[in-house]
């Protein structure tokens, strides 16, 4: 049973009961309310009945007036007119004012089906209104999104190249009124000739291009244009192109300035490298002179001047020797930085063997024991990898503790890299210095404690950069250090 709240405008009690009975008879679980005056009617409308059945003429109130009141309030309640006598004109007037049907009181058998139909129509209207509200909400949402962001939507006739729509933001961006965009030839007139084809191409997939367009003010704007895949119309033709444009001028000028900064940096870096090489190379000759004559002074005049003079000559000799070592190392560093590594298959067993033979004297003097895992063939520069091993092993010998150095070189592999580790049992390094030691000239000790120039690890780092790999250290102060480095298996030489 359909539940129904019916508002019945009727002055006659028997007629009211007849209508109520008829509704129940038609299968409604009807709650019927009788009203006779305008006040009662308005009060009951607040409860929003499902249907209104109105006697055409009540004393002092009638169906037409009741209809007008209903419409004034904007309520969509099915309104049916009941009449005892047919007055065609009046009834047409009621229908014109929104009544859905009229029935003769002596033919109420039709009431049930008329109310059913009116309810169904009202429900359909309600659904349509809800759909329309949703649609216009969604339209507003999309319109707001599309027309207020920096991405300007556009639509173009693919055959004529004429814009058929552009977002209103276009006017602000380029200074041309939207109407001007719609003129034939607008694009060609304002876009750089070499960029004109960008929007006209009929791509099979989405694609993106950058175009340069002149603004009304005469400046040039870089537009990033995204073009959607052509969308076929009902007849299967792709006559319309759609896309978005975005002003990327700021991004472009940032990119350009980054690129020119990078170029300037690269060239000043190159100059610095050349300078370091030339300086360390050219300083060697005057240094040789200083060392030679200081040695001569020492040979000829030792014991002949006073004891202070002997001491001073000794300091000068020591200084010259230290400077010679420093320049030698700086030159090696400079050569590695400026030179091009000669990459090739390099047998690390051979590299390591050569390194040990170069260090034979230091190994024997310190009583060091060196062991190693089988070492692989890698893609690298033989001489640079030799320098790397030599620096790490000689540091492991140099920075030993009270015990004789025990050094082990291990090697493992992953899918992409070779991983090496040089481990020692030396004095170790405090954790806070583990990165700093790879910076050129950074030493943790005075030269009267441990000799050196602070270039060795910086060189190792540079060599790893050339091989597309990396190097890092782990250590426990007083217990030893580990120097790890990885070399990629794929050939990737960077310098």
Under rule CB under 6 A, how many of the chain's residues touch ligand ADP?
20
- Nearest residue (CB) to ligand ADP, 61 versus 333: 333
Between 54 and 427, CB nearer to ligand ADP: 427
E strand or H helix that includes residue 363: helix 360-366
With CB under 6 A as the contact rule, the residue among 7, 457, 464, 471 that binds ligand ADP is: 457
Could you tell me which stretch among 72-80, 173-181, 338-346, 455-463 binds ligand ADP (CB under 6 A)?
455-463
β pairing state of 220-227 and 377-380: unpaired
Please, what is the minimum distance in Å from the beta carbon of residue 218 to ligand ADP? 58
Instruction: Please identify, among the stretches 46-54, 120-128, 133-141, 437-445, the one whose residues bind ligand ADP according to the rule CB under 6 A.
Output: 437-445
CB of 222 to ligand ADP, least distance (A): 47
Which residue number, 297 or 421, has a Cβ lying nearer to ligand ADP? 421
Strand residues in 137-229 grouped as ranges (E): 151-157, 162-166, 207-214, 220-227
Does the protein bind ligand ADP through residue 391 (CB under 6 A)? yes
Least separation in angstroms between CB 424 and ligand ADP: 5
The 3-state DSSP class for residue 454 equals: coil
Part in contact with ligand ADP (CB under 6 A); list of ranges 136-144, 177-185, 336-344, 442-450: 442-450
CA-to-CA separations, 463 to 288, 340, 426, 444, 467, in angstroms, rounded: 29, 11, 24, 22, 6
Q: Measured in Å, how far apart are the chain's first and last C-alpha atoms?
A: 87
Question: Which one of residues 287, 290, 444, 493 is an interface residue with ligand ADP (CB under 6 A)?
Answer: 444
Answer for which of 453, 466, 468, 469 binds ligand ADP (CB under 6 A) is 453
CA distance 244 to 209: 11
- Least separation, in Å, of the C-beta of 468 and ligand ADP? 22
Question: Which stretch in 100-108, 152-160, 375-383, 388-396 sits in contact with ligand ADP by CB under 6 A?
Answer: 388-396
Taking the C-alpha atoms of residue 183 and residue 164, their distance in angstroms, rounded to an integer, is 9
Is residue 328 within the footprint of ligand ADP (CB under 6 A)?
no
Enumerate helices (H) and strands (E) in the chain, giving the number of each.
Answer: 14, 19
Q: Is 437 in the site for ligand ADP (CB under 6 A)?
A: yes
Is the Cβ–Cβ distance between 377 and 352 less than 8 Å? no
Is 481 an interacting residue with respect to ligand ADP (CB under 6 A)? yes
Q: Which is nearer to ligand ADP, 99 or 385 (CB)?
A: 385
Q: How far is the CB of 459 from ligand ADP (least distance, A)?
A: 7
Rounded Cα distance, 185 and 78, in Å: 56
Q: Is 426 in the site for ligand ADP (CB under 6 A)?
A: yes
Q: Which of 395, 461, 463, 471 binds ligand ADP (CB under 6 A)?
A: 395
Secondary structure class of 255 (helix, strand, coil)? helix
Q: Work out whether 454 is an interface residue with ligand ADP (CB under 6 A).
A: yes
Residues 6+ apart with CB under 8 A from 56: 62, 63, 81, 82, 83, 84, 87, 90, 91, 94, 102
Find the binder of ligand ADP among 153, 167, 405, 452 (CB under 6 A): 452
Assign 3-class secondary structure to 290-344: HHHHHHHHHHHHCCCCCHHHHHHHHHHHHHHHHHHHHHHHHHHHHHHHHCCCCCE
Is residue 403 at the binding interface for ligand ADP, with CB under 6 A as the rule? no
Q: Whole-angstrom Cα distance, residue 366 to residue 364? A: 6
387 touching ligand ADP, by CB under 6 A: no
> Which of 330, 350, 217 has the alpha carbon at shortest distance from 278?
330
Q: How far is CA 117 from the centre of its chain?
A: 57
Of 125, 128, 140, 445, the residue at the interface with ligand ADP (CB under 6 A) is 445
Instruction: Specify the pairing of strand 2-9 against strand 28-35.
Output: parallel
> Which residue in 94, 427, 463, 464 binds ligand ADP (CB under 6 A)?
427
Six-digit token string for 41: 């009617």
Closest CB 304 distance from ligand ADP, rounded Å: 37
The one segment of 2-10, 90-98, 108-116, 443-451 that binds ligand ADP by CB under 6 A: 443-451
Q: Of 342 and 436, which CB lies nearer to ligand ADP in the complex structure?
A: 436
Give least dist CB 348 to ligand ADP, A. 19
**Cα–Cα distance measured from residue 280 to residue 284, given in angstroms and rounded to the nearest whole number:** 7
User: In three state form, how does the secondary structure of 387-436 look?
Assistant: HHHHHHHHHHHHCCCCCCCEEEEEEEECCCEEEEEEECCCCCCCHHHCCH
Binding segment for ligand ADP (CB under 6 A), chosen from 18-26, 305-313, 351-359, 447-455, is 447-455
Q: By CB under 6 A, name the binding residues for ligand ADP.
A: 391, 395-396, 399, 424, 426-427, 429, 437, 443-445, 452-458, 481
């Amino acid at each position: 049973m359909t539940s129904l709240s019916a508002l019945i405008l009727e002055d006659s009690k028997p007629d009211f009961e007849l209508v109520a009975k008829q509704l129940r008879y038609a299968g409604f679980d009807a709650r019927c309310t009788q009203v006779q005056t305008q006040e009662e009617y308005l009060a009951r409308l607040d409860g929003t009945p499902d249907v209104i059945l109105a006697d055409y003429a009540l004393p002092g109130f009638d169906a037409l007036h009741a209809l007008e009141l209903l419409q004034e309030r904007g309520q969509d309640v099915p309104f049916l007119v009941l009449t005892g006598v047919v007055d065609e004109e009046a009834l047409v007037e009621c229908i014109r004012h929104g009544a859905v049907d009229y029935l003769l009181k002596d033919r109420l058998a039709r009431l049930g089906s008329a109310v059913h139909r009116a309810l169904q129509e009202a429900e359909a209207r309600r659904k349509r209104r809800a759909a329309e509200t949703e649609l216009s909400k969604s339209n507003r949402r999309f319109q707001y999104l599309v027309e207020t962001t920096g991405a300007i939507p556009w639509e173009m006739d693919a055959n004529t190249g004429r814009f058929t729509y552009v977002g209103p933001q276009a006017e602000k961006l380029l200074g041309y009124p939207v109407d001007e965009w719609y003129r034939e030839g607008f694009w060609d007139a304002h876009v750089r000739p070499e960029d004109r084809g960008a929007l006209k191409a009929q791509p099979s997939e989405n694609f993106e291009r950058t175009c340069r367009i002149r603004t009304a003010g005469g400046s040039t704007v870089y537009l990033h244009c995204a073009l959607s895949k052509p969308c076929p119309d009902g007849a299967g033709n792709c006559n319309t192109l759609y896309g978005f444009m975005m002003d990327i001028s700021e991004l472009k000028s940032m990119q350009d300035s980054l690129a020119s900064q990078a170029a300037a940096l690269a060239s000043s870096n190159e100059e610095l490298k050349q300078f370091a090489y030339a300086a360390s190379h050219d300083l060697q000759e005057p240094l040789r002179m200083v060392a030679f004559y200081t040695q001569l002074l020492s040979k000829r005049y030792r014991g002949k001047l006073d004891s202070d003079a002997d001491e001073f000559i000794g300091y000068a000799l020591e200084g010259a020797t230290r400077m010679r070592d420093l320049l030698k190392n700086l030159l090696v560093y400079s050569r590695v930085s400026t030179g091009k590594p000669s990459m090739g298959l390099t047998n690390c067993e051979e590299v390591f063997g050569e390194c040990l033979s170069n260090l034979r004297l230091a190994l024997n003097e310190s009583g060091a024991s060196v062991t190693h895992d089988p070492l692989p063939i890698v893609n690298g520069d033989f001489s640079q990898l030799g320098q790397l091993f030599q620096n790490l092993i000689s540091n492991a010998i140099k920075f030993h503790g009270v015990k004789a150095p025990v050094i082990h070189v291990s090697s493992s592999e992953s899918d992409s890299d070779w991983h090496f580790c040089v481990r020692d049992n030396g004095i170790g390094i405090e954790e806070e210095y583990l990165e700093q030691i790879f910076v050129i000239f950074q030493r943790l000790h005075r030269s009267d404690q441990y000799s050196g120039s602070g270039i060795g690890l910086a060189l190792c780092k540079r060599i790893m950069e050339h091989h597309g790999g990396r190097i890092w250290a782990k250590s426990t102060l007083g217990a030893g250090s580990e120097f790890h480095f990885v070399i990629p298996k794929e050939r990737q030489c960077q310098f």
